[in-house]
Amino acid sequence: FSPSKFAAQPFPLNTTSQNNPLTIPTTASPFLGSTRKLIRLSSSSNLNLRRRSGTALITKKEGLELYEDMVLGRAFEDKCAKMYYDRKMLGFVHLYNGQEAVSTGFIRLLKQQDSIVCTYRDHVQALSKGVSARAVMSELLGGSMHIFSRKHNMLGRFAFIGEGIPIATGAAFTSKYKREVLKEADCGHVSLAFFGDGTCNNGQFYECLNMAALWKLPIVFVVENNLATSVPQIYKKGPAFGMPGVHVDGMDVLKVREVAKEAIGRARRGEGPTLVECETYRFRGHSLADPDKLRDPAEKAHYAARDPITALKKYLIENNEVVGEAVEFAEESPVPPQSQLHQNVFADPKGSVIGPDGRYRCEDPKFT
């Protein structure tokens, strides 16, 4: 993940990181969670993204928290759709169905003091950051594009694409200024900027990449590439600006979470920004005013089968079975004989443990 590991680096970077979980390998190596062939995890990675059939990536508690967060987001958006069609919610309403793994994978790793800035598709991101469902729903009844919470450091959603990226960059600069100039040692706050692939031809995007890299700001730029027709290429712009550029399967919350953990960690350690492109898919039209008749039904069915909520549920159930089988195996295994009690304990195996008859004294009922 360290910039020094990226190929075709335009200029050297100063970094103190000793952890390099992601590297640019040969073109024959697969994406992290993708069918495309560009980036992979290093075999020596401290990320340690293990096989799904083996050791669990997360604890049961963490898994249930991720699952609950995504289910809440999906149920909330479905309710918004019903209220819109019942004419209780007016204006343009842009839903997040299908993209929950990105919001949950990143935001659930943040602290309350960390900041997020979003585009117009952000109801679920507000919920992930801790804003109550009551507050979000009340706001939506008055209009769908103006969610803000100072308490939760959600610095707004912006209707015009690219509009929020400078705000997130400014928040990251504030954090760095407080830490390095005002000497607030405990100020290690991180900023996340969420935006779509369509934003990435906007001048503000490039200007903020440049400033963030120049000042090594604690920010992660999160591109939500939510159309199958938009080939992931945006992450490649990262190395051109002197920062890591990473692609991840945005339909898999565990893979998103691992990439997010490293990117947020880099920012918090003062190692600078990261550009992450999440390849995801929105299940509904652009907004609820869009009947969504133009996309190929086969394409929609393909991604519906990769529903991030269903995938996490399956993972949790399978790993619970692994644990259950381990318990069953242990309980059914034979009890070791008493003679093993003192084996490999004393240098002299014939010490006080062995009686005159050569038997282990622990087997003698009179021996204490």
Mean pLDDT to the nearest integer, 273-289: 92
Residue 286's φ and ψ, nearest 5 degrees, are: -55, -45
Give residue 16's pLDDT band: very low, low, confident or very high (50, 70, 90): very low
More confident residue, 160 or 30: 160
Give residue 50's pLDDT band: very low, low, confident or very high (50, 70, 90): very low
Give residue 42's pLDDT band: very low, low, confident or very high (50, 70, 90): very low
Q: What's residue 363's pLDDT?
A: 62
Percent of the chain whose predicted confidence (pLDDT) is above 70: 78
d(CA 359, CA 368): 15
Q: What's residue 367's pLDDT?
A: 58
The chain-wide mean pLDDT, for the chain, equals 80
d(CA 115, CA 319): 33
pLDDT for residue 169 is more than 60: yes
d(CA 85, CA 287): 12
pLDDT for residue 355 is more than 90: no
Structural domain includes residue 32: no
Among 8-17, 49-58, 155-164, the least confident range: 8-17
Structural domain includes residue 106: yes
Mean pLDDT to the nearest integer, 286-301: 88
Q: Degrees (nearest 5) of the Cα angle 300, 301, 305?
A: 115
Q: Which H helix or E strand runs over 43?
A: none
Tens-digit pLDDT profile for residues 64-97: 999 999 999 999 999 999 998 998 888 889 999 9
Q: What's residue 55's pLDDT?
A: 42
pLDDT for residue 265 is more than 70: yes
Q: What's residue 350's pLDDT?
A: 54
* Residue/partner pairs of 318-321 with CB below 8 Å, 24 or more apart: 318/52, 318/53, 319/52, 319/56, 319/63, 320/60
Percent of the chain whose predicted confidence (pLDDT) is above 90: 52
pLDDT for residue 206 is more than 50: yes
Q: What's residue 354's pLDDT?
A: 66
Number of Cβ atoms within 10 Å of the Cβ of 269 = 14
Q: For residue 20, which of 253, 244, 252 has the smallest C-alpha distance? A: 244
User: Could you give the C-alpha distances from 53 to 40, 76, 166, 310, in angstroms and in order?
Assistant: 19, 32, 42, 17
Structural domain includes residue 339: no
Q: Which H helix or E strand runs over 348?
A: none
Q: What's residue 272's pLDDT?
A: 97
Structural domain includes residue 76: yes
Mean pLDDT to the nearest integer, 215-228: 93
Count of structural domains, the chain: 1
More confident residue, 5 or 288: 288
Q: What's residue 343's pLDDT?
A: 72
Q: What's residue 360's pLDDT?
A: 66
Look up the CATH number of the domain holding residue 210: 3.40.50.970
pLDDT for residue 15 is more than 50: no
d(CA 293, CA 62): 38
Mean pLDDT to the nearest integer, 42-57: 37
Tens-digit pLDDT profile for residues 103-131: 999 999 999 999 999 998 889 999 999 99
Q: Is residue 350 helix, strand or coil? A: coil
Q: What's residue 156's pLDDT?
A: 83
Q: What's residue 145's pLDDT?
A: 77
Give residue 22's pLDDT band: very low, low, confident or very high (50, 70, 90): very low
Q: Degrees (nearest 5) of the Cα angle 126, 129, 134?
A: 50
How many alpha carbons lie under 13 Å from residue 70 in its C-beta half-sphere? 27
Mean pLDDT to the nearest integer, 337-357: 67
Q: What's residue 347's pLDDT?
A: 62
Structural domain includes residue 38: no
Mean pLDDT to the nearest integer, 183-203: 92
Query: pTM to 2 decimals?
Result: 0.74
Structural domain includes residue 336: no
Mean pLDDT to the nearest integer, 17-42: 32
- Whole domain around residue 246: which residue ranges? 60-319
More confident residue, 345 or 105: 105
pLDDT for residue 31 is more than 90: no
Structural domain includes residue 219: yes
Q: What's residue 366's pLDDT?
A: 66
Structural domain includes residue 248: yes
